[in-house]
A and B are shown apart, each in its own frame.
Chain A
Amino acid sequence: MNLDKLFNPKNIAIIGASRDESSVGFGILKNLTEGCVFNCEYCKPFPGKIYPINPKADSILGVKCYENILNIEDSVDLAVIVVPARIVNRVVDDCINKKVKGIIIISAGFGEFGEEGNQMQEEIVAKLNKAKIPMIGPNCLGIIMPHHNMNASFAPTMPPSGNIAFISQSGALADSIIDWSVENRYGFSAIVSYGNKAMLDVYDFLEYFDKDKNTKVIALYIEGVKDGRKFIEIASKIKKPIIVLKAGRTDEGMKAISSHTGSLAGSYEIYKAAFKQSNVLVADTVEELFDNAKALANMPKLNGHVGIVTNGGGCGVLCADYCSEMGVPLAELKENTLKKLDKSGKMHPAYSRRNPLDIVGDALPERYDTAVDTLLSEDYIGGLIVIQTLQSITKPEEDAQVIIQANKKYPNKPILCVYMGGKFSKKSMKMLEEAGIPDYNDLKKVARAMKVLMS
């Protein structure tokens, strides 16, 4: 089944668009006409035609309403259904007659809601399979495609555009992450909440986003997969990195079984084995999922050893500790490199002369520039961690510029930053993130992110 029109439609019908500002049917329409309900800098209206379907209203939010999808003269690519569960079946019939190319069923009250709901769900899926129309949901948040200015969901706002496709079994988690991403500038190529996965499941999305040109990494939040062997088979074939956060790790699936082996085989252990066998990276927390995803989305793979440049000795030592604990190889600075640094005349007499390269607390942008450029110019150094602690003479924004330039000059070597600080480092952190250089507020996080660039 072709999913193109589902994720990149020329126009969208919202069946169940509502005038009631407290309803989901209103929220989705507003997200399409304005890009969001909670306004932020990344919100833009959907550029294609929008058709609200509501037999009782003439227009909502200034957009002409239709009584039925069949009354629309033009062909329709995507139908978003948000009517009560009991009439979804009938609405789906209309969509099939209209020959829409894709459907999102937001409405709840299906498979997650007892036997009757499940039966309705199965009926709908059977029809859509026959008509070859792909469907996401039911019982989901919808989808957001920031590059297309398409917010076909009832999420609060639009995240920044970027290269992470986030596929989530939980809608509410996606909601919070969107809010968070606006603050922390995690950029997305797609956010997909797939709800009851009645028709399209995680496998389908993996295959689709592997080919999507805006996506560089696929981040997954899953609670479980229906067919584990199929997951392994498909995930193994995906060329882009996949990183997963799995929920239900402790008591889920722990069945009382008679043999010794069984009692140890908690299902998360088995999932972890499956992820390992299909080259899927595992994140432990939501923050780790996106910390690592943004490194994978913005930086090339690490080849070789890592250099650390810091204006604070303690931070350099801690970072070296975390790197070696995690198996990130640290470079040993060669005599020739030190000669270059000495010759530059920019180093403090007491600079460390070893990796981590401590360029001392009074380091100004010029010294950062010399240190960063000298290390990156060496073939034996494959990537760099740049640490900046905020001291009275530090110039965080100018230092950020130095790093942004270095990233342009050495596109094949990953650079990750730790701007340690808060209020007075914020502007420079934003500069780095906007230039696609991942910044972390913690030394362990940066070491872990460098580690995933090794895989």
Chain B
Amino acid sequence: MKQIKFEDTLRLIKKYNLNFIDSKNIKSECDLNQLKFPIVMKVASEEIVHKSDVGGVIVGIKNEEEAKLIYTKLKKISNKIIVQKMAKGKEVIIGMKRDAQFGPVIMFGLGGIFVELMKDVSFRICPVDKKNALDMIKEIKSSKILKGIRGDKPVNINKLAEIIVGISELSMKEDIEEIDLNPVMVNEETAIIVDARFMK
């Protein structure tokens, strides 16, 4: 199984009307002019499966000078580099894998320790409709966090459910083995995919 090219990932994401954060390819230092800071800079090579593990994701870059410095550093890891706007909200993960018995299965969980340590995730066999998608969002123990605690406003779980339904549809039709949308950022208004890994 190999990761597909970033451009192909984006093409599929567009085809299924999934909300992906604006990303710009950086070919040279000149491309770093006139950006609206703060930004995120990351490597976008299909060779690298776990970007953060190799130090390939730098968030909160404040100005052009800092961006140029980081660009030089990242160039050593990969020559495919993109910049993205900083997304606001809570981190969630949406994944898909193909099960030998059940076919494509969608996973949902909250980002960070909730997935890694607490294994607080929910699963559904595709196709997943909107109702099922909402159920799987509400099913995880940490879903209270999405409803808003300690004065936080509730996030828009409808927009999250739309991404789940879209990924389900994509998985039923396209020849993709695994998907990892990590993270998807969700806030009161919207949900947006910040990083996507499609394996074939």
What is A's interface to B at a CB cutoff of 8 Å?
224-229, 232, 253, 257-262, 264-265, 267, 269-270, 272-274, 277
Contacts and interface: CB of A to CB of B under 8 A. Distances in A.
A264 B99 contact: no
Contacts of B124: 273, 277
19 contacts: A228-B102, A228-B103, A259-B199, A260-B95, A260-B115, A261-B180, A262-B97, A262-B178, A264-B115, A264-B121, A269-B123, A270-B101, A270-B102, A270-B105, A270-B125, A273-B105, A273-B124, A273-B125, A274-B102
Contacts of B125: 228-229, 232, 270, 273-274, 277
A264 B107 contact: yes
A265 B107 contact: yes
B124 to A, nearest CB: 5
Q: Which 6 A-B pairs have the closest CB atoms?
A: A261-B95, A228-B101, A228-B102, A273-B123, A259-B178, A262-B97
A297 B178 CA distance: 42
A258 B1 CA distance: 8
Nearest to B124: A273
A267 B109 CA distance: 17
Contacts of A258: 1, 49, 178, 199
B75 to A, nearest CB: 26
Contacts of B18: none
A260 B182 contact: yes
B103 A253 contact: no
A159 B67 CA distance: 76
Given A273-B125, A277-B132, A261 B103 contact: no
A52 B38 CA distance: 86
B44 interface: no
Interface in B95-121: 95-97, 99-103, 105, 107, 109, 115, 119, 121
Contacts of A259: 49, 95, 97, 178, 180, 197, 199
A159 to B, nearest CB: 31
A448 B168 CA distance: 34
B93 to A, nearest CB: 8
B105 to A, nearest CB: 5
B83 interface: no
Given A228-B99, A228-B125, A264 B49 contact: no
